């Protein structure tokens, strides 16, 4: 009895077509994203399922330069132009977890940058207000996030040091660039019970990620989280 080779043809055709889903030389971003979440975030003790789901949903490679996309899920910061960078995934996760995001909260982000952190926050809270001093970065991030369908992110080009008083108070404030002190305007715009996450710079080499909690009596509780290294907060002469 002769073997029925024709039965294998559909399977062979299907198998041969599978590689066509990825362009030649293009990384498997979905696999890299899952590996990033498992190793860099869960592997370092962050296990909140809502937060992990956000990191598995937001495609980090869309927020970096095309030439750096193969490294988008690496455990390192990446250059996004204009002298700025996107923080490594673990740092984004630590800051996000520290602000205690829940669906009804309103969060202010100082330093839109690539827009990646704003997207993560938008998956977890009701509204995100984000400020960027460098107009090109702010506009590019808005264009990308709008194209991805985010409706709960609000953008402003201006001096992040001053915050965004119009929509204060905020349940959480995240500062994605370092300062040598805690900006007073941000403290004033923080709601009672809210949390302010900011990298404080003690020298050119020493920074600490700090959480400030505003208590019922107005007192501020300071908690040191982890050592960090962020680009400095840039001040503007006037809002644009």
Contacts of 182 (CB under 8 A, 6+ apart): 196, 198, 200, 210, 212
Question: What are the backbone dihedrals phi and psi of residue 118, each rounded to the nearest 5 degrees, phi first?
Answer: -60, -40
Question: Distance (Å, rounded) from C-alpha 32 to C-alpha 55?
Answer: 12
Token pair recorded at residue 192: 């009672």
Sequence-ordered list of residues with C-beta below 8 angstroms from that of 104, at least 6 positions apart, any chain: 125, 126
Contacts of residue 118, Cβ cutoff 8 Å, sequence gap at least 6:
109, 112, 128, 130, 141, 145, 150, 153
| Spatial contact of 127 and 148, defined as CB atoms under 8 Å apart | no
Per-residue burial over 35-47, b = 16 or more CB atoms within 10 Å of its CB, e = otherwise: ebbeebbeeeebe
Among 87, 147, 203, 204, the active-site one is 87
User: Is 87 tagged catalytic?
Assistant: yes
For 194, residues 6+ apart whose C-beta sits below 8 A from its C-beta are: 169, 170, 171, 172, 173, 213, 214
Report the run of H or E that residue 141 belongs to, with start and end. Answer: helix 135-147
Catalytic positions, please? Answer: 87
């Amino acid at each position: 009895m002769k073997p029925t080779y024709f039965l294998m043809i559909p399977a062979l055709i299907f198998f041969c077509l599978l590689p066509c889903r990825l362009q030649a030389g293009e990384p498997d971003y979905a696999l890299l994203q899952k590996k990033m979440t498992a190793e860099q975030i869960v592997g370092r003790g962050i296990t909140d399922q809502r937060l992990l789901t956000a990191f598995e949903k937001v495609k980090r490679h869309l927020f970096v330069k095309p030439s750096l996309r193969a490294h988008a899920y690496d455990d390192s910061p990446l250059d996004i132009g204009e002298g700025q960078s996107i923080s490594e995934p673990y740092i984004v996760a630590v800051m996000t977890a520290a602000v205690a995001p829940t669906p009804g909260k309103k969060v202010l982000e100082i330093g839109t940058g690539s827009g990646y952190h704003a997207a993560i926050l938008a998956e977890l809270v009701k509204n995100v207000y984000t400020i960027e001093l460098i107009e090109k970065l702010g506009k590019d991030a808005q264009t990308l996030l709008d194209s991805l369908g985010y409706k709960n992110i609000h953008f402003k080009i201006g001096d992040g040091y001053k915050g965004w008083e119009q929509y204060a108070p905020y349940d959480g404030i995240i500062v994605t660039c370092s300062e040598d002190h805690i900006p007073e305007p941000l403290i004033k715009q923080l709601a009672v019970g809210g949390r302010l996450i900011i990298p404080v710079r003690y020298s050119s080499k020493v920074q600490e990620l700090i959480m400030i909690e505003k208590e019922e009596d107005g007192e501020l509780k300071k908690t040191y989280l982890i050592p960090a290294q962020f680009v400095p907060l840039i001040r503007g002469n006037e809002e644009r």
